[in-house]
């Protein structure tokens, strides 16, 4: 029994000694890692500050040494391409039709330039699609009219209608395009006008 007590005491002393030896090593490692992190952080801050100072100095020298010439003249922005694409006839069809307000007509020699605000039909009424484009058409092109022609159906030359179509959007037309995107005819869409 005495041997067991001595053995237990020796083992307890050995365990206590191991704990005393193990704890300082772990603390030393933690402290060493912390110091290493601090050294890396200081080095990064120092190098970043130096790089910033160099960049500011080089940028300032570049600006100071740049030749100063006259300012370029202001240029109006170029208009973006119109989203208008002439409608294409469906397979087996000869023409495709676009509905639109035709207005702003200007006679230019043998041609008439008109503005077209594209429309779509929604529940029996018309609504703009947001697409506006211009067409330059022959002044002699025949236009099917009804209300524009004082209530009587008639074919009138576009050049003769230029004055009535020179104002804002009022008259709705069906514009027929062939397979190559050319305007084949203009028809007053009197059935859609209110």
pLDDT at 148 (0 to 100): 78
Q: Using the structure block, give the residue that is written with the tokens 């037309």.
A: 173
Please, are residues 188 and 145 in contact by the beta-carbon 8 Å criterion?
Answer: yes
Closest to 132 measured CA to CA, from 176, 178, 168, 183: 168
172 dihedral zone (left: phi>0; alpha: psi -120 to 50; beta):
beta
pLDDT at 24 (0 to 100): 56
pLDDT at 12 (0 to 100): 80
DSSP state, residue 184:
E
Q: Splitting the chain (194 residues) into consecutive groups of 10 residues, what average pLDDT does each group show?
A: 73 72 62 74 67 66 61 46 77 90 92 92 84 91 84 87 87 90 87 61
- Distance, in Å, from the CA atom of 6 to the CA atom of 160, rounded to the nearest integer, reads 129
Domain ranges of the chain: 1-63, 96-188
Closest to 128 measured CA to CA, from 191, 181, 172: 172
Exposed e or buried b per residue across 150-188, where buried means at least 16 C-beta atoms within 10 angstroms of its C-beta = eeeeeebebbebbeebeeebebbbbbbbeeeeebebbbb
Of all residues in the chain, the percent with pLDDT exceeding 70 is 68
pLDDT at 77 (0 to 100): 44
Name the pTM for this structure. 0.56
pLDDT at 113 (0 to 100): 93
């Amino acid at each position: 029994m005495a041997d067991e007590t001595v053995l237990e005491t020796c083992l307890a002393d050995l365990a206590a000694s191991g704990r005393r030896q193990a704890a300082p090593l772990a603390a030393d490692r933690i402290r060493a890692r912390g110091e290493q992190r601090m050294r890396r952080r200081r080095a990064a801050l120092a190098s970043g500050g130096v790089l910033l100072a160099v960049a500011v100095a080089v940028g300032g020298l570049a600006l100071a040494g740049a030749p100063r010439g006259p300012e370029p003249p202001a240029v109006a922005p170029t208009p973006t391409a119109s989203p208008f694409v002439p409608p294409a006839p469906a397979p087996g069809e000869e023409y495709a039709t676009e509905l639109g307000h035709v207005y702003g007509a200007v006679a230019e020699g043998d041609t008439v330039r008109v503005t077209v605000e594209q429309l779509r039909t929604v529940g029996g009424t018309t609504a703009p699609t947001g697409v506006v484009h211009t067409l330059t058409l022959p002044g002699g092109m025949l236009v099917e009219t009804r209300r524009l022609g004082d209530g009587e159906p008639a074919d009138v030359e576009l050049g003769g209608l230029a004055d009535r179509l020179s104002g804002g959007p009022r008259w709705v037309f069906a514009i027929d395009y062939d397979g190559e995107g050319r305007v084949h005819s203009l028809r007053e869409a009197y059935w859609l006008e209110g």
